[in-house]
Amino acid sequence: MIYLEGSGKEFAGPPLSLEQLDTDPLRQFFSWYQEAQRIEAGDPTAVALATSSREGRVRSRMVLLKAIDERSFLFFTNYGSRKGRDLSENPQAAFSCFWPALMRQVCARGIVEKTSLEESAAYFESRPVLSRLSAWASPQSEPIPAERAFLENRLRQMQERFGSSNIPLPPHWGGYRLIPEEVEFWQGRSSRLHDRFHYVRVPGNGWRVERLAP
């Protein structure tokens, strides 16, 4: 066995108390995200998204959260991708994000549903031209020839087909909203005595918040 060594950095962050938290975890997430946006060197929207097939085979990958509303977190992808196929079989998912400069982590779990066609189209139109063309060009998660030229040729074909304007929304591409049933906020503290607060949805009665042992 080879033991792995981290940075050895002490998680000496500021205290987090119940009184500091918003009563709604989505608003609390947005508040923390705004701080991360100012401070973090990396992309603060990056999260590790975990999905599972009908048989319980779990996969995870990094995705970017693209929006948050009063009830959900939104991300977009190819519906035929591995995560899309998982979500068609088992419409539940979880994600976690870590903001090291703030020594903060957020974990969420909930039900996933597709966004409306109008929401998907509105976001798709906001993407850069090459990103929109790539959504048409890439058969995401499918085996393809080893040479990268395959993808580059596919992109050229899409450029010839659509040009650089009026690129339509692909029928296989769109958004998902993760509607959380539980959300945890983790604040790193010294001596590994971290502050953890866990929101659990109470049907018809908002959220219950409890402190968890680190």
Question: What's the pLDDT score for residue 102?
Answer: 96
Q: Residue 6: what pLDDT?
A: 75
Full residue range of the structural domain in which residue 188 is found = 18-128+169-212
Catalytic hit among 54, 109, 189, 192: 192
Domain annotation covers residue 25: yes
State the DSSP H helix or E strand holding residue 38, giving kind and residue range, or none if neither.
Answer: helix 25-39
Q: Flag whether 191 is in a domain.
A: yes
Rounded Cα distance between 122 and 118, Å, is 6
Looking at the domain assignment, is residue 136 inside a domain?
A: no
Does the annotation place 141 within a ligand binding site?
Answer: yes
Domain count, the chain: 1
76 is in an annotated binding site: yes
Looking up residue 204, the CATH number of its domain turns out to be: 2.30.110.10
pLDDT at residue 11, rounded to an integer: 75
- 148 belongs to a structural domain: no
User: What pTM was estimated for this model as a whole?
Assistant: 0.92
pLDDT of amino acid 170: 97
Rounded Cα distance, 136 and 40, in Å: 32
Specify whether 192 is catalytic.
Answer: yes
Residue 161 lies in a domain: no
Between helix 129-137 and helix 149-162 the angle, nearest 10°, is 110
**Which pLDDT score is estimated for 91?**
98
Letter string b/e over residues 75-85, b meaning 16 or more CB atoms within 10 A of that residue's CB: bbbbbbbbbbb
- Confidence (pLDDT) at 133: 96
Average pLDDT for runs of 10 along the chain of length 214: 78 90 98 97 97 97 97 97 97 98 97 97 96 95 93 95 92 98 97 96 94 98
